[in-house]
Amino acid sequence: TGSSDPYCIVKIDDEAIIRTATVWKTLSPFWGEEYEVRLQPTFHSVSIYVMDEDALSRDDVIGKVCITRDMLAEHPKGYSGWVSLSEVDPDEEVQGEIHLRVEALGSQGGRRLRCSVLEAR
């Protein structure tokens, strides 16, 4: 139909911790949602999956972005900007990007992640 029903799932080390609202019938969703969660001292990565909700079958994965612990360390003031989606299934072509703001707050013992899922296209 030329549109999707996108939402995002944020995972820390493969554990889903956040699900955004679904934005119906669009290829350019705006979420504007901000979350803050505790980070385990041993965390490795934060992944944001852009999904397409489907009422009749399993939801489709449109693409994902993975931000590693090292990438966060390279940006001590956080990262903000458009990030291209990468494929989850190597047989699927992925197009699109997501606008994120991600920053690690606090000290090693009590770190928190502030994640803003803004929009996609």
Closest alpha carbon to 100 in 38, 31, 51: 31
Walk me through the domains of the chain, giving residue ranges and CATH numbers: 6-120 (2.60.40.150)
Phi-psi region at 71: left, alpha or beta (left = phi > 0; alpha = psi -120 to 50):
alpha
Interacting residues of 57 by C-beta distance below 8 A, sequence separation 6+: none
Distance in angstroms (rounded) separating the CA atoms of residues 8 and 111: 23
Adjacent-strand bridge partners of 34 = 116
Model pTM? 0.92
At 108 the pLDDT is 67
The one-digit pLDDT tens for each residue of the chain (121 residues) are: 578 999 999 999 999 999 999 999 999 999 999 999 998 888 999 999 999 999 899 999 999 999 999 998 899 889 899 999 999 988 888 889 999 999 988 876 678 999 999 999 9
